[in-house]
Amino acid sequence: MCGIAGIMTSGNRAPDAALLDRLSLALAHRGPDGQGRHIQGNVGFLQNRLAIIDLVTGDQPLYEPGGAALVANGEIYNYVELRQDMAARGLGNSFKTNSDFEPALHLYRRDGLGYLDQLRGMYAIALHDPVAGQLVLSRDPFGIKPLYYMELPQGLAFASEPQALIAAGLVPATLVPSARDELVQLQFTTGRETPFAGIFRLLPGETLVVADGRIVERRRRAALPAEGPVDWSEGEALERLDQALIDSVRVHQRSDVPYGMFLSGGIDSSAVLALMARLNDRPVRCFTAGFSGTAAADERQHARKLANELGAKHSEVDFSEADFHALLPAIAASVDDPTADYAILPTWKLAREARGEVKVVLSGEGGDEMFAGYGRYRSAMRPWWLGGRMARGRGMFDGLGVLREDKPNWRDGIAAVEATESLPGRSRLQIAQAVDCAHWLPNDLLTKLDRCLMAHAIEGRTPFLDPVVASVAFRLPDKLKVKGQLGKWLLRRWLQERLPSADAYTRKRGFTVPVAEWIAAAAGRLGALVAAQPGVTELCRPDRVQILFRDLASKGGKRRGFAAWTLLYYALWHQRHMLGFAPEGDITAALARR
């Protein structure tokens, strides 16, 4: 896990060293363990390193005999097997380090752009081939690791975070209204376009080939199998699942530094805990967040029971109302590509608490998408005349009268993905899962995990988001994913056999952060402050914003709570990333600045 950035200029001009300095400074939080730089011809790039594998010789850039250079963010989990295979082919003497990314360079020299097909991991890679005169930028198929780029008159620049491109002076922070509208209605944004004008995401699995500072080729590597469900029996499916999960967690634990996990007590993280306990001789180090003194379900007691049963070393982290007011400005500042997912709150604090003991954490992200855990999937399986509904058919603010203008095009990005993922042979359930994997997963859940952990220089790993797991989970028959009102059926069956105390057949409660409760307690003050923010006033009717907050205090309501939270988060995000205010003080102090 690291930060990477760079530029390929047009016209064979040498890259500006001062620009690389500014990019490196803006990404310093992602890599406190070292810095590396490559400048050759019209290409310059850098890496700020968070050292996880090969602490001694693994500094980047990495080079291969043919002259190609590479910097990367992430981990290649099958690097051991790749090295063994290459040694068997007589290529073992070519390695100069024990880095997990060095095999990728040698595979590129042998297979060209096809080298990516052999990588199992999470990655954002920049590779310079001076002989071919090209820069190759690639992102892993699930989009676990981020990479952003911008096309400029002087060439193409890229970075692990969009804020680095802005901080380096390559582009001013200018808001894209359509992306903003999508954000407030969905709580995340879809597709290639970010909320920052001129800054774009590499899509999950995408590779760009750049020559003379211009994109000359794009290609994609799919995360999910293209075919429909396979009619496995439950017994055969269970055996395949067990093998895939063991294999994935085994390679996701490859590390030369201490590692642990985030344990929520839900099905996904409980399964990860059971697997880690099975594969480790030492106690698993795990961390759980909870909310004292609120109406929200607190999972700490259940997580504690599981941790004690499996002999894990368990820490509980309380996220309080005082934390909410004190930490939210800094949290919003750390998530430059915005997601208004309130799970950023405990995730950020868990990472802060864990960083003193571990540098790597495994988590359960992706379990719901891989095994069909969301209630919306059950609806998607039904035709409309039996009550089926399209996912995210209603925006957060539809009908509330808060927005200055209700624009229906906020759903265009999702609709485009729905059309793309409706492949022949796929079931309705598979299509719904694939749509979530294409936009919700990379642009909400994984962005949240990346930014909250990298704010504290911790690497996050997601063993459910693995090609070996996906080849089993996505192809399961629908009846082994959903039974009655229970999603994730086969994963529950697997967990119930291996950890009965996990109560795997208990219905999913969902993870709730009591933001509405905390906002309601200060609704009058916060409503007035949020309504006066420049980013909010250009989007909303200020009087209706204050009414929204006031109604939350008197009437409550889940939808009003989500809407108030979204506007509060957006106001703080806009202050930092559009207006440039530093995240100083608590919510009140931050919003009172002009």
pLDDT digits (tens, 9 = 90+) for 15-56: 999 999 999 999 999 999 999 999 999 999 999 999 999 999
pLDDT number for residue 219: 97
- Can you tell me the distance from the alpha carbon of 75 to that of 251, in angstroms, rounded to the nearest whole number? 10
Q: Are 475 and 225 in contact (CB under 8 A)?
A: yes
Determine the distance from the C-alpha atom of residue 550 to the mean position of all C-alpha atoms in its chain, rounded to a whole number.
34
Average pLDDT, stretch 485-497? 96
Predicted confidence at residue 385, as pLDDT, reads 52
Q: What is the pLDDT of residue 590?
A: 95
Give CA–CA dist 171/155, Å, rounded: 13
What stretches of 230-284 show up as alpha helix (H) in DSSP? 234-252, 267-279
pLDDT band at 508 (very low <50, low <70, confident <90, very high): low
Sheet holding 148-152, edge to edge: 35-40, 43-49, 2-9, 155-159, 148-152, 200-201
What pLDDT score does 298 carry?
85
What mean pLDDT is predicted for residues 47-75?
95
pTM above 0.75, yes or no: yes
How large is the average pLDDT for residues 190-196? Answer: 97
pLDDT at 1: 63
Confidence bin at 510 (pLDDT 50/70/90): low
Tokens 């080079």 belong to 63
For residue 61, say if its preceding peptide bond is cis, omega within 30 degrees of 0: yes
Give pLDDT, residue 389: 67
In this predicted model, what pLDDT tens digit does every residue of 331-376 receive, in sequence order?
999 999 999 999 999 999 999 999 999 999 999 999 999 999 998 9
Strands 62-63 and 2-9: unpaired
* Whole-angstrom distance, CA of residue 479 vs CA of residue 481: 5
Go through 457-476 and write b for each residue having 16 or more CB atoms within 10 A of its CB, e for each that does not.
bbbbbbbbbbbbbbebbbbb
Write the single-letter amino acid at 449: L
Condensed to tens digits (0 to 9), the pLDDT of residues 73-129 reads: 999 999 999 999 998 887 767 789 999 999 999 999 999 999 999 999 999 999 999
Residue 110, helix vs strand vs coil: helix
In the structure, what pLDDT confidence band is assigned to residue 407 with cuts at 50, 70 and 90? Answer: confident
Q: What is the largest distance, in Å, between two alpha-carbon atoms of the chain?
A: 73
DSSP state of 408: G
Q: What share of the chain is helix, strand, coil (3-state, %, to 5)?
A: 45, 15, 40
Task: For the chain, give the percent of residues with pLDDT over 90.
Answer: 87
**Average pLDDT, integer, range 529-558:** 93
Q: What is the mean pLDDT of residues 564-592?
A: 96
Q: What's the mean per-residue pLDDT of the chain?
A: 94
- When pLDDT is cut at 50, 70 and 90, the band that residue 12 belongs to is confident
List, for residues 436-454, the tens digit of each pLDDT value. Answer: 999 999 999 999 999 999 9
Using pLDDT thresholds of 50, 70 and 90, give the confidence band for residue 143.
Answer: very high
Domains (range + CATH), the chain: 2-220 (3.60.20.10), 234-378+442-502 (3.40.50.620), 515-592 (no CATH)
Statement: residue 251 has pLDDT above 70: yes
DSSP 21-51: HHHHHHTGGG-TT-EEEEEETTEEEEEEE--
